[in-house]
Amino acid sequence: MLEVIARGTGEFKPPDPDGFRAHVRDHKERRLVSKLVSERDAVARFVSDGDYLAYDLNIAYRGPGSLFREVIRQKKKDLWVMAKFTWTDVSLLIAGGCVSKVDVGWMEFGPILNRAVKDGSVKLMEWSNGALAYRLLAGSLGVPYLPMRYLGGTDTFEQSGAILTEDPYTHKPVCAVPALNPDVALIHAHQADMYGNTRIFGAGVSPVEMAMASKRVIVSAEEIIDPLEIRKQPQRTTIPYYFVDAVVHAPFGSYPGSTQGLYAADLEQWLAFAAAGAMGKTDEYLENWVYSVSSHQEMLEKRVGEAKLQALRDADTLKEGYYD
């Protein structure tokens, strides 16, 4: 039995590796079947009110921008969101009324977030980017917790669900964090086939561990490729199909963020959201960019326009390493 020296007070979902195994046994598709669906169907089917929602990267950089907007469009409620290396996307989801809890690694702060914390409509739990990634790693390994060499000694630790314990091998104090198995993960990728075999090019945060650790996984992909292409270059596969529940074809799916090797971030659009938050005009912003269009495709056509999309493609001049 581990001796607990100190224990954080933050709320967390108790790790349940056996429950996760049972979920995999009963619900994860093993067959090679097409999982191609619209963003509307993917979010309607796989995101539920009250879910723990995780996503890789953020609204500035290869995040699932089109899926964020669909979650808001469908007015999902009471989500517990993982803010690991995030940006204004947490504020966007809060503005959409979707969030009740946030696990904080890093998020861009502003008036929307300040108000939600002060009026108690959103509760925060403190971790760090790396600690949340470690929790996903534990979740992806099928173990209940992992020891790690940080968090201890800080107020962050006090507001987290971490423990400080005596390590049974070295007999020195070590921090440990509970495994995290999100209900649903949103991951934006460069390419996927219809079965869910997914390729991500470039650096990132923890898409692999997140896909493995999550009960349901929605992948949005810039391009849907032939399954034979996957089998011809298996080393390029980031996530194999059986972890993935839905594949959504989403060109410019990270918009207004960038996808490396394809297009740059639309800074003006991103600043427009920050400005809307500062001026109390978030409702107008959501109406224009989310509610008044029925899909990501319609938003690109009516609100962004081909000229802007081409300019963003042209602004990302460095393809080396991504597509060669």
Q: Which two tokens stand for residue 69?
A: 């907007």
Nearer to another protein, 109 or 292 (CB): 109
Least distance (Å) between residue 98 CB and another protein: 19
Least distance (Å) between residue 60 CB and another protein: 5
* Dihedral over Cα of 308, 309, 312, 318: its sign: negative
Stretch that binds another protein, among 74-82, 215-223, 255-263, 296-304 (CB under 8 A): 255-263
Name beta bridge partners: 216: 184
| Per CB under 8 A, 212 contacts another protein | no
Least distance (Å) between residue 87 CB and another protein: 8
| Per CB under 8 A, 107 contacts another protein | yes
Stretch that binds another protein, among 214-222, 243-251, 261-269, 299-307 (CB under 8 A): 261-269
| Per CB under 8 A, 282 contacts another protein | no
| Per CB under 8 A, 312 contacts another protein | no
| Per CB under 8 A, 189 contacts another protein | no
Phi/psi for 150 (5° steps) reads -145, -170
Closest CA to 200 of 166, 229, 223: 223
Least distance (Å) between residue 124 CB and another protein: 8
Nearer to another protein, 43 or 81 (CB): 81
* Angular region, 279: left φ>0, alpha ψ -120 to 50, beta rest: alpha
11 vs 58, 86, 157, 158, 162, CA distance in Å?
24, 20, 12, 11, 10
| Per CB under 8 A, 207 contacts another protein | yes
| Per CB under 8 A, 108 contacts another protein | yes
- Sorted by sequence, the CB contacts under 8 Å of residue 164 that are 6+ apart come out as 4, 5, 6, 7, 152, 157, 173, 174, 175, 176
Nearer to another protein, 126 or 222 (CB): 126
Binding mask 36-75 for another protein (x = CB under 8 A): ---------------------x--xxx-------------
Q: Are 117 and 124 in contact (CB under 8 A)?
A: yes
- Based on its alpha-carbon atoms, the radius of gyration of the chain, rounded to whole angstroms, reads 20
- Tokens 């990267």 — which residue? 57
Least distance (Å) between residue 305 CB and another protein: 20
Among 39, 89, 126, 193, binds another protein (CB under 8 A): 126
Nearer to another protein, 17 or 147 (CB): 147
Q: How far apart are CA 215 and CA 17, in angstroms?
A: 11
| Per CB under 8 A, 260 contacts another protein | yes
Total binding residues for another protein by CB under 8 A?
Answer: 66
10 Å Cβ neighbour count for 243?
23
Closest CA to 161 of 322, 1, 48, 6: 6
Residues near another protein, by CB under 8 A: 57, 60-62, 83, 85, 87, 104-109, 113-114, 117-118, 126, 128-131, 133-134, 137, 148-157, 159, 164, 172-175, 201-209, 257-258, 260-261, 264-265, 267, 270, 315-322
